[in-house]
Chain A
């Protein structure tokens, strides 16, 4: 297929994240975020006032209060006033908004950040509030139960089995031993069933964390980074909300987003998938046609750290960082939102030829 390529080259030039932890109750969101903002700016030598556009992603429901993002702006240091926006979504979508802003030529650099503190409330209960408020949410079906429905559908379809899922968990947490930011790493027992067929080990840790990325266009990107991670394509798609009308063993929205992002034009060497549950990696590998030659979630992925609202942006950041370090030439990054992979974003990143 042929795609209209973006009229402007835009790259991820810097990435920073917190050490993700089960709880950070001694810190406000601003205090959790500020070191990350400082680190990502320091990587490029930019100051807040040098940034052309700022965009963030977060969710009020995690903090348990309205307008939780307004005070995060204090951490950015928005004075003199800045051009700024916010999506009530994972930071991967904030990055998408910033990417479009840079494409218009209105800005040459963008700061993207997101954060989530899951520790203030019971996350499984909180996430039920994402569901249809009239017919489904009153039943409080939680995120693990819904993921288990998907996992069982996969097992029933012969797409996976429990040992295969356990292998995904073990591989992810072994890889995470090299990731100092990860919350759960090394040898982690598969544990008891949480909701059959998912065991503790098939589920992501619940944690608090933040991440930030800097984007830059064209020559600006080369000035700020030795090996920019160029965004060759980025697209996102949503599916129906009702689980009953979806084939849970497949992810057509991921496949379509990947197609629009140009992921299938040439093979990728690295993939960072936002798959909070082991079973979801099975679905995503199929939708993205990833074979054994692709290194998947070398960071440990969401099974090693899943700070809600930042975990998707971290996938893009981890993929970009591998390109920055010369460990990848063409990487795919994926982010998800909603129950059972309802909404999916795919970005394709490339380093300059070596």
Chain B
């Protein structure tokens, strides 16, 4: 079986902010889609299908919003799919869209993910009582904090690593005009002095709640040949899931994450991720997940991820930059956060990342996860097509 190579030829995102009161949900998604089309120098008529993703419908209070958004996204008369895989959805949505191209079902696809969290209250949306199940009424931080604590105990990491990640990502965000948080006066001391929310996670080590959308135009080899700017080529992509809660689950380094990364590396011919991959856009909603995912994704041996972070390897000018855009810690429209990782990876290999561009970024990983660390989606994009 031969698959059609998939190229990213257009990327668009909104300026992410706490509340976009000037636009409706339709206005928000259209803004990102329009930008992606402009980047690809295409019009709505060039799009064969639309694949849209977001996290729970309860976040905006609109059931299956793709129905209402069909007009705003130029989808009338076209196929439109709506993906929902919890926090990993932005990545999964891009992969579903990529499959339409890879399977040669469609030539050019618009994929988009969004969240307009100001329309409702995400904490409430995540905390509805569930019959037959134990209550988890502490939001996402309450769920993840014990796993961070387990990582610290298991790896012996010094408790300064988390604040170091947050300080780095917030500084990177200053170079990204679309990032939500622009904390010009950020210092490591300020991060460390911020209130403890869910021990060991401090206020400044958590993601914000954002309104925003991200869009990409994916196309086949012929479409890429016509693109006005360099395409990013998909070299590998995969999704993996495991159950939320069971006795054998390793919450610190879930097997589904390891398997997902291994599948992507196999497709892309990556033998040693630490050597062969130039940079990573990683889903880090709480700062400690950087060292944790460095291990889960195979960039460091078990228990060693924090050493990469501590030694500055993951800084923007380090040997393996992580979250050049400022990451989820600086921008978190939940349903879009995964796609922003995927899109930022594409921008890097296209050389279009502006002030946060990494030199010689030839192969970059985009990573997303969701649920109780149970859903994973990743892609590796490169500046050269897969067979070259």
Do A and B interact with each other, yes or no?
Answer: yes
Using CB atoms and an 8 Å cutoff, list the residues of chain A in contact with chain B.
Answer: 4, 7-8, 28, 54, 59-61, 64-67, 69-71, 73-74, 77-89, 93, 96-97, 100-101, 103-106, 126-127, 129-134, 137, 235-242, 252-253, 256, 337-339, 342-343
A83-B239, A104-B1, A129-B62 as given contacts; A61 in contact with B259, CB under 8 Å: no
B238's nearest neighbour on chain A, judged by CB, is A83
Residue from A93, A127, A130 with most neighbouring chain B CB atoms (10 Å): A130
B125 adjacent to chain A (CB < 8 Å): yes
Please indicate the chain B residues that have their CB under 8 angstroms from the CB of A82 in the complex.
240-242
Please indicate the chain B residues that have their CB under 8 angstroms from the CB of A241 in the complex.
67-71
Select one of B25, B128, B246, B254 contacting A66, CB under 8 A.
Answer: B128
Complex Cα gap A82–B70 (Å):
31
Number of contacting residues on B, CB 8 A?
A: 72
Please indicate the chain B residues that have their CB under 8 angstroms from the CB of A97 in the complex.
81, 83, 96, 99
Q: State whether A65 touches B70 (Cβ < 8 A).
A: no
Select one of B66, B84, B92, B133 contacting A71, CB under 8 A.
Answer: B133
Please indicate the chain B residues that have their CB under 8 angstroms from the CB of A134 in the complex.
24
B3's nearest neighbour on chain A, judged by CB, is A104
Please indicate the chain B residues that have their CB under 8 angstroms from the CB of A126 in the complex.
63
Complex Cα gap A280–B95 (Å):
34
Residue from B63, B80, B104, B238 with most neighbouring chain A CB atoms (10 Å): B63
Complex Cα gap A188–B242 (Å):
45
Complex Cα gap A339–B83 (Å):
20
A62's nearest neighbour on chain B, judged by CB, is B63
Please indicate the chain B residues that have their CB under 8 angstroms from the CB of A235 in the complex.
79
A7-B104, A129-B62, A242-B71 as given contacts; A87 in contact with B84, CB under 8 Å: yes
**What are 30 A-B interface contacts by the 8 Å CB criterion?**
A60-B58, A64-B128, A66-B56, A66-B58, A67-B371, A70-B374, A73-B374, A77-B243, A78-B241, A79-B243, A80-B259, A81-B241, A81-B255, A84-B240, A84-B241, A97-B99, A104-B1, A104-B3, A104-B103, A131-B68, A133-B119, A237-B77, A238-B79, A240-B70, A241-B69, A241-B71, A337-B64, A338-B67, A339-B67, A342-B67
Using CB atoms and an 8 Å cutoff, list the residues of chain B in contact with chain A.
Answer: 1-3, 24-25, 55-71, 75-86, 92, 95-96, 99-100, 102-105, 119, 125-126, 128-133, 238-246, 248, 254-256, 259-260, 263, 371-372, 374-375
A59-B63, A85-B96 as given contacts; A28 in contact with B132, CB under 8 Å: yes
CB distance from A3 to the nearest CB of B (A): 12
Complex Cα gap A305–B105 (Å):
32
Q: State whether B103 touches A100 (Cβ < 8 A).
A: yes
Please indicate the chain A residues that have their CB under 8 angstroms from the CB of B241 in the complex.
54, 73, 78, 81-84
A81-B240, A104-B1 as given contacts; A88 in contact with B83, CB under 8 Å: yes
Q: State whether B56 touches A67 (Cβ < 8 A).
A: yes
B245's nearest neighbour on chain A, judged by CB, is A74
CB distance from A153 to the nearest CB of B (A): 19
Complex Cα gap A78–B372 (Å):
14
Q: State whether B240 touches A83 (Cβ < 8 A).
A: yes
Complex Cα gap A83–B99 (Å):
14
CB distance from B77 to the nearest CB of A (A): 6
Please indicate the chain B residues that have their CB under 8 angstroms from the CB of A79 in the complex.
242-243, 246, 248
Complex Cα gap A66–B126 (Å):
6
Complex Cα gap A101–B82 (Å):
16
Complex Cα gap A68–B3 (Å):
33
Q: State whether B68 touches A85 (Cβ < 8 A).
A: no
Complex Cα gap A68–B305 (Å):
33
B64's nearest neighbour on chain A, judged by CB, is A130
Q: State whether A100 touches B99 (Cβ < 8 A).
A: yes
Residue from A59, A134, A238 with most neighbouring chain B CB atoms (10 Å): A238
Q: State whether A85 touches B70 (Cβ < 8 A).
A: no
Please indicate the chain A residues that have their CB under 8 angstroms from the CB of B55 in the complex.
66
Please indicate the chain B residues that have their CB under 8 angstroms from the CB of A131 in the complex.
67-68
Q: State whether B62 touches A239 (Cβ < 8 A).
A: no
Please indicate the chain A residues that have their CB under 8 angstroms from the CB of B375 in the complex.
70, 84
Q: State whether B71 touches A240 (Cβ < 8 A).
A: yes
Q: State whether A129 touches B71 (Cβ < 8 A).
A: no
Please indicate the chain A residues that have their CB under 8 angstroms from the CB of B59 in the complex.
66
A28-B131, A85-B85, A89-B81 as given contacts; A70 in contact with B3, CB under 8 Å: no
For the complex with contacts A100-B96, A238-B67, A338-B67, 12 further pairs of A-B residues with Cβ separation under 8 Å are A4-B104, A64-B128, A78-B243, A81-B240, A81-B241, A81-B255, A88-B84, A104-B1, A137-B62, A237-B77, A238-B70, A252-B77
Please indicate the chain B residues that have their CB under 8 angstroms from the CB of A59 in the complex.
57, 63-64
CB distance from B279 to the nearest CB of A (A): 26
Select one of B56, B105, B242 contacting A81, CB under 8 A.
Answer: B242
B267's nearest neighbour on chain A, judged by CB, is A106
Q: State whether A104 touches B371 (Cβ < 8 A).
A: no
